[in-house]
Each structure stands twice: as structure tokens, then as C-alpha cells.
Structure 1
Amino acid sequence: MAEIKKTPLAGVLEIFPKVFNDQRGYFLESFRADWLEKEGIHETWIQDNQSYSQKGTVRGLHFQRAPYAQAKLVRVVKGKVLDVIVDLRKDSETFGSFYSTILDSEQHNLLYVPTGFAHGFSVLEDAIFVYKCTNYYNKESEGGILWNDPNLGIDWMVNNPIISEKDQKWQNLEEFKATSEGGL
């Protein structure tokens, strides 16, 4: 069975699967629905995504608005990333707070991210990043928060980050609050 750790942000879980190592290598269950069900979370996963990113890349902070909002289950199959989420749930006591953790292919850890969060990551070692989603991607529902918003103060742990043009133009958290009726 996996070890489940609750984070300071309600509903967000870090999952450490049991890894069986021997002289041949290792085996692990990378996903089991009952890990989340044990925590009262019942999701239907309908899309899997995979990306490769080189060291120094920052992706995010992305989200999908309703009706295409997505919960995500994220992990790294090769390399290491700093995974970051920002609480955008308008009724949340931790609105505007972020949580970060290192996901890597040696720990095999996963992060469960409920709907209502912006998500991003910085690449600490070249990485293959995979994640399950509870809804399909919809371009018109896409949104984001500026990765380097000084009000968030996120230390991405990379120098001279490689960032897409789109990710350099997202709104900051204050602009998001003003234009999104207080949150997702």
C-alpha cells in the first residue's frame, strides 16, 4: 500500500507508492483508485498527458475554468521537478497560498491536485512528466497565473528559466482575483 501525506492545502495529497527493489530493478503500482478512495476522493480519470522538459524549464502556472476544470494526479517517470500548485478556490481558507514539493523518479511520489488550483513545475533534472486528468483540455477554458508573481514569492529553484511566451504573459494573482469574481 502507498503512504499518503496530507498537505497544508485542504484536499491536496502527496502519495508515496510502495516500491519493491531487488537485483533486477524495481516494481511499483503507479496508480490505484483505492489510494484516493480511502481519503474520500472519487475521481474518474479520462485523459493522460506526458511531457518532456529540459533542465531549467518552468511550465505553468496553468488551470482550466469550469466546466472543463481538472483535478490532476501528477508524477515524474524520469528526472526531477519542483511541482507547484496555487490555491484558487474562492471559498478556501488558503486562497492564494501555494504548495511545492519535489517529484522525482527515485522517490516515485505523486501529487493529487483537486480542481481549483493552478499548477506548474520547474525542471531540476531533464524530466518526463506524466499526469492524469479528470476532464479534457479545452483551449477556451485555459487560464494561468504569472509564474514569477512577486506576491506569491515562489522559489522555482532554477536560474535563467526557459519559459514559453504564453507563460510569460499570464495575469498575476491580484489581477486574477479582480477578473475572476474572487476565484475558481
Structure 2
Amino acid sequence: MKVRTTSLPDVLIIEPRVFGDDRGFFFESFNQRRWQEATGLKTTFVQHNHSSSRKNVLRGLHYQIQQPQGKLVRVIAGEVFDVAVDLRKNSPTLGQWTGEYLSADNKKQFWVPEGFAHGFLVLSEKAEFFYLATDYYAPESERAIIWNDPDLNIDWPLQGEPCLSEKDCAASSFQDADLY
């Protein structure tokens, strides 16, 4: 696997080694030993999640203030634009974001560590999104920041208005957000 850093040093792009021929392809989407060797992280994943969304669905920006979740995310069908926002009070990159195009074709994975908000926009007609989480879902500590917050100024590759959940429509501003 190849590991690349982003503009936010703790957020990583993972490019697996893919073996393909005229029959199709094979790759290890996760291997604990290789993960530790390549990233230096001793991460334990306790929950696997899978979502399906249609074009222009924007999910996020989500995080848990207690029981923060690190997430290793990938797309298994379609394409998304995936975003991580630094919410760590003492971080020199507080309030900064980075994004990456993830697709079934490029097979990239995105590591969003604890202390970051996460969101994604579906670019294809449909996308299936799969992720590993380092802690369990805790609805009582879940928070959301509005996707179009002017202080964050995320450059979403939108065509028209996004399709949002009620929760995401009611999300707080970055200025009012609970931080780590």
C-alpha cells in the first residue's frame, strides 16, 4: 500500500496495491500489520458501516464529541468527494479542511482521524460508501457542522443544491461547534 499525506498532516490517502487482469481485480482493503507499518498507527476498528446514496446527496459534516471516531473510508460503487475538517482546539490547522475524490475506479481510501469532522458529496448517479470506525456510534455525542459554513469555505464540486438530511440542515456553524 502507498500512503500519502494531505494538507492536513494527520489525514492520509491510502492507495492499495491492486492486482488486475482480464478477469477483474483483487486487493487487500485492510491488513492490520501493513496498516501499522505504513502509517505508524496502532488503530483498532470496532465498527464497519456501509451507506448508499444518490447523486448530490451531501452527508456531513459529522463527528462525535465524546467517543470520537477515526474513520478509514472508501467507495465501492460510484464516486464521491470526501472531506475532513480539523476540529482540534490546539491544532495549527484548526478549521482547515482537505478533500479527496474517492471512487470504485481509483480504489483510494481516506483516513479521517479522531478530532476531525467528516462529510462527503455523491458525484455519480449512486454511490456505495464503506468505512471502518475506531469507536462505536454514540448518538448522544454526535454533532454536525453545516456543510456550507462560510468560515470553513469548503469548495464542494456541486452541481445545483445538495440533498441533505433534516439533521444536516439543522447543523451548527463552525463558530458554534463543540471542539476537541
TM-score range, shorter chain: over 0.9
Instruction: Trace 1:150-169 onto structure 2 (pairs within 5 A).
Output: 150-158=150-158, 159-169=160-170
1:151 offset after TM fit, Å? 1.5
| 1:89 maps onto 2:102 in alignment | no
What is the aligned partner in structure 2 of residue 173 from structure 1?
174
Shift of 1:174: 0.9
Distance 1:27 1:111 in 2: 19
The residue matched to 1:173 in structure 2 has which SS? coil
Letter in 1 for 2:25: Y
Distance 1:36 1:162 in 2: 34
Deviation at 1:35, TM superposition (A): 3.7
Could you tell me how far 1:144 is from its partner in structure 2?
A: 1.0
Separation in 1 of the partners of 2:33 and 2:118?
24
Name the CA shift for 1:109/1:50 in 2 (closer, same or farther; >3 Å). same
Displacement of 1:117 after TM fit? 0.4
Deviations 1:7-42 (A, max 9, x none): 121211100001111010111111122343122201
Are residues 1:102 and 2:79 paired? Answer: no
Sequence identity (%):
45
Query: Structure 2: where are the runs of 5+ without partners?
Result: none
Letter of the 1:100 counterpart: G
Taking structure 2 as the reference length, what is the TM-score of the superposition? 0.95
Distance (whole Å) between structure 2 residues aligned to residue 122 and residue 21 of structure 1 = 28
Alpha-carbon offset, residue 156 of structure 1: 1.7
Measure, in 2, the Cα distance between the counterparts of 1:35 and 1:140: 34
Normalising by structure 1, what TM-score? Answer: 0.93
- Report Cα offsets for 1:152-174 as digits up to 9, x if no partner: 11122122211111101111111
Deviation string, structure 1 residues 53-85 (Cα, Å, up to 9, x no partner): 00111000000112x111100000000000011
Q: Distance in 1 between matches of 2:93 and 2:86?
A: 7
Question: What secondary structure, in the 3-state scheme, does the structure 2 residue paired with 1:112 have?
Answer: strand
Q: Is the 2:11–2:84 contact (alpha carbons within 8 Å) kept by the matching residues of 1?
A: no
Write the distance in 1 (CA, Å) between the matches of 2:113 and 2:90. Answer: 14
Counterparts of 2:101 and 2:162, CA distance in 1:
17
Superposed CA deviations along residues 83-139 of structure 1, whole A, max 9, x for unmatched, are: 011000111110000000000000100011110000000000110000000111011
Secondary structure of the 1:157 match is coil
Partner letter of residue 13 of structure 1? L
Unmatched segments (≥5 aa) in structure 1: none
Match of 2:122, as an amino acid? V
> Partners of 2:35 and 2:8 in 1: how far apart?
16
Q: Which runs of 4+ in 1 moved over 6 A?
A: none
